[in-house]
Amino acid sequence: MALVTFTNPEYRDKTVYAVAGSHTQSILKIARENKIAINFECQDGECGTCVVKVTSIEAKDKPLMGGPLTEKEKTVLRSIGKLTKDEMEQMIVDDLPSPWRLACQMIVRDEDLRVEY
C-alpha cells in the first residue's frame, strides 16, 4: 500500500493509505474520502482548479515515478502556467512526470507520495 501525505501550510499534515494498483484512485478521490480540502470543480481535467504538487517521499533524491501526464493534464498545466513548452519537452525526453499534477487525473501507484495542495 502506498502512503499519501497531504500537506498544506494552513492545515496539519495528514497521511492516509491508498490502495496501490487499483488504478481507480485519483489523488482527488483519496483526498475527498479523507476529508482533505483540495479545491476542485470539474473533476474531469478541464478547469485546473485541483492542481497539486506531488513528490516522492521514499527517498529525497529519488525522482517521482508516477504515471505519465494525461493529455488533459498537459493542456491544462500549460494553460495555467505550471509547465512551459521547454519543461514539457524535457519531461518527455527524461521520461519523468512533472511534479505539478491535476489531483482529479493522477492515479496513485505503489509509491509513497507527498501532495502539496
Nearer to ligand FES among residue 40 and residue 87 (C-beta): 40
| Rounded Cα gap, residues 22 and 99, in angstroms | 21
Lookup result for grid cell 513548452: 85
Q: Which amino acid is at 57?
A: I
| Rounded Cα gap, residues 82 and 98, in angstroms | 9
Part in contact with ligand FES (CB under 6 A); list of ranges 4-12, 46-54, 59-67, 83-91: 46-54
Nearer to ligand FES among residue 7 and residue 49 (C-beta): 49
> Residue 49 interacts with ligand FES (CB under 6 A)?
yes
Part in contact with ligand FES (CB under 6 A); list of ranges 17-25, 40-48, 90-98, 109-117: 40-48
What is residue 80's three-state secondary structure?
Answer: coil
Task: Give me the least distance between CB of 41 and ligand FES, in Å please.
Answer: 5
| Rounded Cα gap, residues 98 and 64, in angstroms | 8
What is residue 1's three-state secondary structure?
Answer: coil
Q: Out of 47, 80, 88, 96, point to the residue binding ligand FES (CB under 6 A).
A: 47
Binding residues (CB under 6 A) for ligand FES: these are 40-43, 45-50, 76, 102, 104
